[in-house]
Structure 1
Amino acid sequence: MERDKKAILEQANAAVSSGDNEKFLSFCTEDTEWNFVGDQILKGKDAVRKYMKSAYSEPPQFDVEHMIAEGDYLTAIGRISLKNPEGKIIQYSYCDVWRFEDGKMAELKAFVVAHA
């Protein structure tokens, strides 16, 4: 089952990296909740869709270094590159803790730090 969670996240990340946010969202529950610790909380697919449209004006690129699965949870540690509103690519390190429900991503707790 742990392999399934890893495969789901890999497929979801591949979708968003190719610019297909809707395919990414198909891996999420309708009431998915994303908590960017210390920043904002998004509740539901519509809120996530709106965030992705703004934050991912250019598809992000992921470098997942480690994935650790246990029970309903999958933790992904890595780097992500995003274009900021000024058009500059910013590198971030992240630790995402996903909770799965019925084979879909139901909750995210994201710890994200920009590189200086």
Structure 2
Amino acid sequence: MSEKNKAILEKANAAIAKGNNEGFLSFCADDIEWTFVGDKTIKGKEAVRQWMAATYVEPPKFRVANLIAEDDFVAALGDITMKDEDGKAADYSYCDVWRFRGDKIVELKAFVVKT
């Protein structure tokens, strides 16, 4: 199961990198919940869709250092570059912990630090 979940996450992230938010969302459950630790929680696919539309004006650039999978979880460690509120490129380090239910992503806990 864990290798299958890694493959799903890789496909989902590839969609984001191409600017295909709907492609990413096709891998998500309707009741998905994203928690940005220390910031906010977004509940439901439509709320995630709206967040992505507002935040990913240009597709972010991911550099995944490690994908670690066990049971229903995949942890992704790496760096991301995306536009900030002023439209300037900003760099972040992150650890995303994704939880799966069947073939769908149901939860994200994101630990993100601007570098």
2:19 is matched with which residue?
A: 19
The one-letter code sitting in structure 2 at the alignment partner of 1:94 is Y
1:68 is matched with which residue?
A: 68
1:37 is matched with which residue?
A: 37
1:78 is matched with which residue?
A: 78
The reply on whether 1:106 has 2:91 as its aligned counterpart is: no
**Gaps spanning 5+ residues in structure 2: where?**
none
Matched positions, count: 115
Measured against aligned partners, the alpha-carbon deviations of 1:29-69 in whole angstroms (never above 9, x if no partner) come to: 00000000001100000110010001100101111100111
TM-score by length of 2: 0.97
* Same amino acid, percent of matched pairs: 57
Q: Which contiguous aligned blocks of 4+ residues in structure 1 show a shift greater than 2 angstroms? A: none
TM-score by length of 1: 0.97
Alignment partners' CA distance in 2, 1:95 and 1:85: 22
**Gaps spanning 5+ residues in structure 1: where?**
none
